[in-house]
Amino acid sequence: MIEDGQFVGLGTGRAAAAGIRALAARIKDEGLSVTAVATSLQSEALATELGIPLVAMDRPVDFAFDGADVVTPTGLVIKGAGGALVRERVVDDTAGRFVVLVDEPKVAGHPSSWGTLPVAVVPFAADFVAHQTADLAPSRRPEHSDDELIILDMRPPQGAAWHPLHARLRQIPGVVDTGLFDVSIENVLVGEPDGTCQTLAQLVGEGHIFL
């Protein structure tokens, strides 16, 4: 999908790392010419090791790819297990096209199957935000994000409506972002162990049931 001359956003995590390696292989084997921006220090280190040229995030990217913690058949995506949700938002929401890479266990009927919504908070406000969201049983990760933000993992009640929850959290002073994303299911690629893949739209169209 990536074309010569494009500015590419590199995601974070296991699936994104596989995508980074595949992109590096095309650069080496096909002479593909791209520049890229990484959403984490981890992905930056891998891209540098593999020879992918990195530049600053000074403009929208043409194409971005990333994994997900869970994705639903309606295109609701939870990201942030790796703590890179803020950089991922900047890259993915400005991309001309954003593709999510998952395997089938990551597709579920409702985000409650994952159960956790990561929230990035400025350190000064971490205790305040935790107090304001006590009903969501927030837990604080011991390490800061690459941007020195605190990550609070919220645990919404089973069956909760996550979009209103995202809106509520974004209104709390000190909250930078949550890990809730919306994507087109045409841009969710579901991989199989044999290396083949289908879009989530194809699987939904075939009547596939996700628990």
Spot the catalytic one: 3, 30, 88, 143.
88
Whether 30 is a known active-site residue: answer no
Predicted TM-score (pTM) of the model is 0.93
Same domain for 96 and 186:
yes
Domain that includes residue 14, residue range: 7-104+181-205
Residue 209: band (very low, low, confident or very high) from pLDDT cuts 50, 70, 90: confident
Look at residue 40 and tell me if it is in a domain.
yes
Same domain for 66 and 121:
no
pLDDT, tens digit (0-9, with 9 covering 90-100), for 16-61: 999 999 999 999 999 999 999 999 999 999 999 999 999 999 999 9
Written as one letter, the residue type at 57 is M
Mean pLDDT over residues 124-134, rounded?
98
Tell me the C-alpha distance between 19 and 67, whole Å. 9
Tell me the C-alpha distance between 190 and 11, whole Å. 16
Same domain for 54 and 81:
yes
pLDDT, tens digit (0-9, with 9 covering 90-100), for 2-24: 999 999 999 999 999 999 999 99
Look at residue 1 and tell me if it is in a domain.
no
Q: What confidence score (pLDDT) does residue 211 get?
A: 67
Look at residue 188 and tell me if it is in a domain.
yes
Q: For residues 44, 46, 47 and 49, what is the CA-based torsion angle, rounded to 10 degrees?
A: 120
Res. 210: pLDDT tops 80? no
Same domain for 75 and 13:
yes
Look at residue 211 and tell me if it is in a domain.
no
CA 92 to chain centre: 8
Q: What total number of domains does the chain contain?
A: 2
